Amino acid sequence: MSDQFKGIEPMVYQSKINVPYSWWAGDTATRFFVALRDEKRITATQCGACRKVFLPPRKVCPSCFTENTNWVNISDEGTLISFSVARRQLAAIPHDRKIPVIWGLIKLDGADTAMLHYLDEVKPEEVVIGMRVKAVFSETRKGNIRDISHFQPVK
Ligand SMILES: [Zn+2]
């Protein structure tokens, strides 16, 4: 700091900026979201070389570096691999979600990878790794990952 500013406190203003943007989801994600929105169908890509099934779908197999051109239907039921509980409102949590929020890493039957999503209709203290869960689709679907509202325990 130069001498001319000595003794002067810096001024700090609190403000917010709004930055609207849009982005293209790409071929692979678009196909995945359209199947969710229009048919409540969960789809994944499969590597033609190692046969691994990716959910969320991946365009290229990260092991073989081959393009995944095979699409397969995946069950809406699976196994909880891991989870985390947020007990206070965070910027990443939509305001229509009740606190506490439970995020689950869910491996659906037929997939070799897990996807992250909300776990609901269960108390945090009742959540157990390995529990069976099922997708609950949103009433109004818009072609994004929230077309799956959340996962709930299989009853
Ligand atoms: Zn592969």
Domain assignment present for residue 4? The answer is no
> Is the residue at 12 inside a domain?
no
Q: What is the pTM of this model?
A: 0.83
Residue 7: inside a domain, yes or no? Answer: no
| Residue 65 CA, ligand 1 centroid: distance in Å | 7
Domain count, the chain: 1
Q: Which residues of the chain have pLDDT under 70?
A: 1-2
In a domain, 17, yes or no: no
On whether residue 94 sits in a domain, the answer given is yes
Q: Is residue 139 part of a domain?
A: yes
pLDDT digits (tens, 9 = 90+) for 33-55: 999 999 999 999 999 999 999 99
Q: How far is the CA of 69 from the centre of ligand 1 (A)?
A: 11
Does residue 84 form part of some domain?
yes
What CA–CA distance (Å, rounded) separates 111 from 104? Answer: 16
Domain residues for the domain of 99 are 25-153
Report how far ligand 1's centroid is from the alpha carbon of 100 (Å).
Answer: 38
Nearest one of 116, 95, 92, 94 to 106, comparing CA atoms: 116
Q: How far is the CA of 48 from the centre of ligand 1 (A)?
A: 7
